[in-house]
Each structure stands twice: as C-alpha cells, then as structure tokens.
Structure 1
Amino acid sequence: MAEITLKGNPIHTNGDLPAVGAKAPDFRLTQGDLSDVGLADFAGKSKILSIVPSLDTGVCAESTRKFDQLVASRDDVVVLVISADLPFAQARFCSAEGTDRVVTLSIMRSRNFAKDYGVLIQDGPMAGITARAVVVLDADDKVLHAEMVPEIGQEPDYDAAFAALG
C-alpha cells in the first residue's frame, strides 16, 4: 500500500507500482470505440502508461497535453492515458484539446488494472479511482520506469519518463 496525498492530506492506494525490471501485468481496458485492448494490442512499441484520476482536472489535462507533444517525434512509442473517465468523455477531451497522438483508455468495465498496478485509491474523497502515476515499458513490456506521483495535484516527472526510453 502506497501513501500519497490529496491537497496535503494522506490517502492510500491498494498496493505498489510494478517494479522496474519486472514484466508488466497485462490488462483489459476500454478504448473510444468501446472495444477492449491489452498490452498485445501495442506490441512492438515502447509504452508510456500515463495513469490519471480524470481528464476533467487541470493537472490530468496538462499532463496529457505534454505527453502528446513529447511523443510527437517518436514513432516507436505509444502513450496510453488511463483514467476512470468514460470513453465518450475522453474522446471529447482529446477532440477539444487536439491531442491526437495519445491513446485514451478507460477502467470503466473493471478496476483490475488499477488493482494490478497498485494505483487504486482506497480512501478519501477519490476512493475507487486511480492515483496519478507513470509506468514506462519497453517493447517487450518490461518495466523501465515507475513513478507514483506523491501529491495528486502535482505533475509527473516527464524527463525521467522519457529518459527511461533511451
């Protein structure tokens, strides 16, 4: 169980992020057309999992825009933005913001992803959705970098995530 904060108040997740060097747990998440995808659907590419509580917050929106810009020159990398938002809301956000290089995925059908990655918030006003975290995987789904952002209102370390890609 990890302790993070929301506006300085301690809250807890159900576990810890996958360890660097470990094989990433597979998942089933829902994309915009309501089909489910897993790691195999992004085979052959490095992956940045940008895990956010909701795209309907300033920090989540900003991190999605930044990852969208940072990945523009990398055809070998896909950014998966994972949140509790419904796919329809994710699509509206991406359309309004012009973020067309990220893939938004929803945990709407199951909280298993959040549980398996240790990001399911257990208590406080945001219980039941994901903490803010970044997990970077190589093309073989090995964890290269894992950051649980300590304060939900803070942005992740973009430089560290991209440095892990090499």
Structure 2
Amino acid sequence: MTQPAATIIAGSLAVVAAAIAFIGLLVNLHHQHRAERRSRAIDQITEAVAAVETLAAVLGWLPKAEPGSDSTKRANQKAIDTIERVQIATARLEVFGLDKAAEATRAYTLAAVAAGGSKSNPPSEADNARAASRAHAVDLLRDARRQLEMGATRTAYEKTRRWIKHQRLDRA
C-alpha cells in the first residue's frame, strides 16, 4: 500500500470515528434531557399532590374556626392561597402533558370550592363529591408518577423495539 492511500484510509477512519463519537454525544444529550424532563414532571406531580392534600386539610379547618375571628380570616386566606397553589400546579401539569391528572386536579378544586368548608353530619352530597374528587385526583397523579418512573426503567431492548415500530409507522 502506498503512503497516499494509507493516509486517505487513516483519514477516513478518523472521520468515521469522529462521526460515531458525535452521534454518541447527541444520543447521550437526548437521554439526559429526557431524564431531566421526567424528573421535573415527577416534581410537579409531587407538588400537585401536596397542594391537593393541603387544600383538603385547610377545608377541614374552616368549619372549626370561630366565625369572625382572626383564625377564620387566616384560614380563609390560607384556603385562597392554597387554591392558587393548586391552580398553578394544575397548569404546570398541563405544560408537561399530564392532561388527565391536570383535569382531575382541576375537578377536585371545583368540587372543593363548591363544597366550601362545610362539614355536615352526616356528610352532604357536596362533601362526598369533594372527597371522591380528591381521591380520584390523587389516584391519577399517582398513576402519572408511576408511568413516568416506569419510563425511566424501560430496557434498551424495549426502547429499540418502540423506536423501530415508530419508524415503520412513519414510513406507512
């Protein structure tokens, strides 16, 4: 083999190696971005659950507060702040594409506001609707979190099969 041919082959191999390294870097960056996004979505789900549970607790305090007292004013302000917190968490869930969880959280907020801080004995229909709506919202938030966490543990084989399936669908 002549010197120029060997130089061309060595240069070609270097270009191929650089291209493979570059593709590996892009794939790594893509996976890091997905993991970061998944982590942020899980954080938002956690925030939404905390906001829903805080709202349930605040609405439980309201009937116990003395009407017209400072504790009632503080409880009302806490309820307003918590409703805002739930609404912000709901909007963030929508940004992450967790529409079912966001809708359930929004439905709980509406049921909670409709029922207010009432605690009748026996529980009224509004109290029962609020409790059922809260349970539904928390269940959907848990399911969304579980699905995100399962996505993180998907094997390389499953990911490759899924990618191939999508490639076939794109061509069809």
Larger C-alpha radius of gyration, 1 or 2? 2
From the two aligned structures, give the one with the greater strand fraction.
Answer: 1
Decide which structure has greater helix share: 2
The two structures have a TM-score, normalised by structure 2, of 0.24
